[in-house]
Homo-oligomer: A and B are copies of this chain.
């Protein structure tokens, strides 16, 4: 079973379960930022934002270096690769389901064509819209 280091996955997925932290990661994907810069867009105290950054740091998703009184944060993406690896195992399942869905829709189309040919049954007026 794909069981990557569990505490790491615990922490990474937990860090990602909060929209504020995901937004912070996104901002760090464009450039390094100070703690205050990361905190700025959020309607919360600096201490609150600092806590979120600590969570990201603890999960290994952010690293920081201090210049004077300024803490510069940077994205550290390696642990996201671990999360991606974990998810990769399930790729076959959402691919399968998409294939299954296609098969089901095709079978339904054939069934409707058959009943229309025999005229034995009224075909339902509303049928799945496959155009989308």
Contacts and interface: CB of A to CB of B under 8 A. Distances in A.
Given A14-B14, A83-B87, A90-B77, A19 B2 contact: no
Interface in A5-31: 6, 9-11, 13-14, 16-19, 22, 25-26, 29
Number of chain copies forming the complex: 2
Contacts of A88: 84
Given A16-B13, A22-B9, A84-B87, A29 B78 contact: no
Nearest to A1: B26
Interface residues of A, number: 33
A91 B82 CA distance: 11
29 contacts: A2-B26, A6-B22, A9-B16, A9-B22, A10-B17, A10-B19, A13-B13, A13-B14, A13-B16, A14-B14, A14-B17, A16-B17, A16-B86, A17-B17, A22-B86, A25-B90, A29-B89, A29-B90, A75-B90, A75-B93, A76-B97, A80-B90, A80-B93, A80-B94, A81-B91, A81-B94, A84-B84, A84-B87, A84-B91
